[in-house]
Structure 1
Amino acid sequence: MTLWTKETITGDLRNLPAGVQEIRTPEGELCRLPLPESGGRGRSEEIRLCDWATMRLEWYEAEGFHSRHGAEPGFLELSFCLSGRMGWQLRDGSGLYLGPGGLAIRLRESCSDSRLQFPLGYYAGLAFSVDTRTLDAQLPVPLAQMGVTGAGLLERYCPGGRSLALAAQAGVAPLLEPLARLPREARPAWGLLRIQELLLLLGALEQPELSSPEGWPRDQLAAIQAVHARLVEDLSRRYTIEELSREHLLNTSALKAGFKAVYGQPVGAYMRELRMREAARLLRESDLPIAGVAAAVGYENQGKFTRAFKEAVGLLPTEYRRQNGPLRGKQFPGVPRQ
């Protein structure tokens, strides 16, 4: 796979049974394991980089699953999002979410029994596991020269077991994105180089760049997910932020900030893209008149719908229906097909 879109992930996983993940071990063996509490599918490739670091390339088409693994103390877990979104339900019930280009930093023991969530229905990413005690016993020369140690990184990023998500602007993406495009045989050598560079970068980041949203409280997360369910259950209906805020007992600022944290976009942008996806599907798969398609996705005025569709897709609805093919204009990587 070279493009980590929802469509390529779906195509790659199509032949796997529901509720199964396929794992390629560092020795090259393939095994299939259940995806706990999930009807989704997934694959991962595990790569041993050195005595103190392993790397994992993983991709899923799922709403989420329960993750259980060993709770080894002193292990630093670094998760980098290539596409989609991933969230963790933390020990206190709050949630932390990661979007494309972002990096999550946490202790392995803090996520040994946790619920992973994929708000958009898919995810692709890289994950590194760093044994900080072995790292410090075999500290590579570049890290030693810059005074970067595993113990220092734990103290800086995970005091008291804290989990942290760095936004894409932190500069991690240029280091890690190329790893996912390499041939499998090249990943161990390049992965070892990149994990050292990543640790150097984490040791050098200034404090303002470390700021990130804290985990969202359990009750707010439940309310945001209920808002999402209300929005997508009937695309012909439109709701104002004020209506949703009153219904779900959230102030408008918390609703807007929480929705963007979980689903990666403001409410308005997310719903526009979702409506255009559904409109494109109806134009391909139904014989509804254009006015009927417009009404089905929440446009009372056919002219407004036509303008919105042309702006989003690059074709008039009539042109798109005549071609009866995939989207030729703007793609929508952030919103799952319904």
Structure 2
Amino acid sequence: MKIDDIIRKYIEIPGISLKRSNYSAELLLNGKEGKGSMTFFPLFPGITVAYIFVNSPTWTAPNFCGNGSVEKGPLLVNYCVTGRCEMILNNENFVYVKDGEISLTERFAQKQYVYPRRIYEGMEFFVDIDTLTEQSTWVQKEFAIDFHRIVDRFCPEGGTYISSVLPEGEEILTKLWGLFDIPVPYSISQMKIYTLALFSLLQNINDIPPSQACTFFTETQVDIAKRVERIITSDLRQHHPAWELAAQFSVSETSLKNYFRGVFGQNISIYLREVRMKKAAELLTSTRLSVAEIAELVGYMNQSKFASVFKKQFGLSPLEYRRSKNLENR
């Protein structure tokens, strides 16, 4: 499937618009739950790189289904810079790509892209091998890159590959990531060079690290983790012991904690503390509530304890944080 067809499918979705320039096409997400952007740079006929910035729990995916099954798409290579992205394997189990990891697959998202931490930044390479073979033969010949071999190495039998990036790959991807802020057209030529270097590395690497896609979670386990997250964040004044939550879902406390950490990448206590501190920072900036009132709203009856945790999170006391934000907004 060609990249223009993919983009065309995206803009059929409510809340997603398209902005074009001479060198790129930018999809803009503006939904009830958040915003995001995906900027596509066509590098060669058949190879496109997209820079992704999302501040939303989900991004609806186009319907690429045919005859009731998910259509096999182009080779998709994802690199997660920040955040966490949910992927569904062929066996309908769930895996997660997190900071510093790369994934290779030929499967599109079924219904939506899910970002459990609500924040995601990364890159995605779209490789349409048929178009490459027809229109970019010189690329494969000049640089001796066999994209079919890459698919066979990393995605045998339609599988999904996930692993931490090796140091040499991380060096290439870090340079590619930094090019987003460099004005075009200069950055385009650099994107082409580093992209070819990346695929050459993927083809020629001797020892491929084992795929972490073997560590997966079932739909039921993921659902439990997400329901727990909704419970503990719906009213930050409330405290829900892990044993109580586990009993509610008829699983062991250890299992519950494993499900949550697998989906959200953090222990329940650390995740909830960060949510509480983020909400406290928002209230300090947007309201005139006292520190004691804000502490209570985010679940701290002890103001001193709240101030201590807040300072550890932001490096400033609550009052210092409020003053600094007020000065910024003047």
Change (3 A) 1:164 1:23: farther
For residue 98 of structure 1, what is the aligned residue in structure 2? Answer: 97
Instruction: Please say if 1:44 is aligned against 2:38.
Output: yes
Shift in Å at residue 105 of structure 1?
A: 0.9
For residue 87 of structure 1, what is the aligned residue in structure 2? Answer: 86
- The count of residues paired between Structure 1 and Structure 2 equals 303
CA separation in 1, counterparts of 2:161 and 2:301? 44
Shift in Å at residue 256 of structure 1?
A: 3.1
| Counterpart contact for 2:87–2:95, Cα < 8 Å | yes
For residue 316 of structure 1, what is the aligned residue in structure 2? Answer: 317
For residue 201 of structure 2, what is the aligned residue in structure 1? Answer: 201
| Counterpart contact for 2:23–2:184, Cα < 8 Å | no
Which one of the candidate residues 15, 22, 45 is aligned to 2:18? 22
For residue 8 of structure 2, what is the aligned residue in structure 1? Answer: none
The secondary structure found in structure 1 opposite 2:62 is strand
For residue 10 of structure 1, what is the aligned residue in structure 2? Answer: none
CA separation in 2, counterparts of 1:31 and 1:314? 36
For residue 155 of structure 2, what is the aligned residue in structure 1? Answer: 158
Gaps of at least 5 residues in structure 2 are 1-13
Change (3 A) 1:180 1:72: farther
| Counterpart contact for 2:105–2:155, Cα < 8 Å | yes
Change (3 A) 1:29 1:276: closer
CA separation in 2, counterparts of 1:96 and 1:326? 43
Change (3 A) 1:142 1:98: farther
| Counterpart contact for 1:23–1:45, Cα < 8 Å | no
| Counterpart contact for 1:275–1:297, Cα < 8 Å | yes
For residue 179 of structure 1, what is the aligned residue in structure 2? Answer: 179
Shift in Å at residue 195 of structure 1?
A: 1.9
Change (3 A) 1:23 1:286: closer
| Counterpart contact for 1:43–1:59, Cα < 8 Å | yes
Identity %: 24
| Counterpart contact for 1:38–1:63, Cα < 8 Å | no
Shift in Å at residue 142 of structure 1?
A: 7.6
Shift in Å at residue 220 of structure 1?
A: 0.9
For residue 230 of structure 1, what is the aligned residue in structure 2? Answer: 231
- Map residues 1-20 of structure 1 onto 2, 5 A cutoff: 19-20=15-16
Give the TM-score, by structure 1 length. 0.75
Give the TM-score, by structure 2 length. 0.77
| Counterpart contact for 1:100–1:168, Cα < 8 Å | no
Instruction: Please say if 1:77 is aligned against 2:76.
Output: yes
CA separation in 2, counterparts of 1:205 and 1:253? 38
The Cα offsets for residues 148-188 of structure 1, whole Å up to 9 and x where unpaired, read as 63222212211221122223566544322223233231333
CA separation in 2, counterparts of 1:126 and 1:224? 27
| Counterpart contact for 2:25–2:41, Cα < 8 Å | no
The Cα offsets for residues 117-164 of structure 1, whole Å up to 9 and x where unpaired, read as 1223343322111234536954646853xxx63222212211221122
For residue 220 of structure 1, what is the aligned residue in structure 2? Answer: 221
Change (3 A) 1:72 1:32: same
| Counterpart contact for 1:276–1:309, Cα < 8 Å | yes
CA separation in 1, counterparts of 2:126 and 2:53? 17
For residue 164 of structure 2, what is the aligned residue in structure 1? Answer: 167
The Cα offsets for residues 301-338 of structure 1, whole Å up to 9 and x where unpaired, read as 222112111221222223333444489xxxxxxxxxxx
Which one of the candidate residues 131, 145, 149 is aligned to 2:146? 149
Report the residue type matching 1:45 in the other structure: T
| Counterpart contact for 1:21–1:42, Cα < 8 Å | no
Report the residue type matching 1:44 in the other structure: M
CA separation in 2, counterparts of 1:142 and 1:200? 11
Q: Which region of structure 1 is more displaced relative to structure 2, 307-316 or 67-76? A: 67-76
Which one of the candidate residues 60, 78, 93 is aligned to 2:54? 60
CA separation in 2, counterparts of 1:194 and 1:80? 14
Change (3 A) 1:230 1:105: same
CA separation in 1, counterparts of 2:36 and 2:188? 21
The Cα offsets for residues 198-246 of structure 1, whole Å up to 9 and x where unpaired, read as 2233231634454345442111111111011011011112223322222
Report the residue type matching 1:278 in the other structure: K
CA separation in 1, counterparts of 2:327 and 2:96? 30
Q: CA RMSD in A?
A: 3.4
CA separation in 1, counterparts of 2:28 and 2:295? 44
Change (3 A) 1:163 1:250: farther
Shift in Å at residue 92 of structure 1?
A: 4.4
The secondary structure found in structure 2 opposite 1:88 is strand
Shift in Å at residue 113 of structure 1?
A: 4.3
Report the residue type matching 2:99 in the other structure: P
Q: Which region of structure 1 is more displaced relative to structure 2, 154-163 or 134-143? A: 134-143
CA separation in 2, counterparts of 1:324 and 1:31? 32
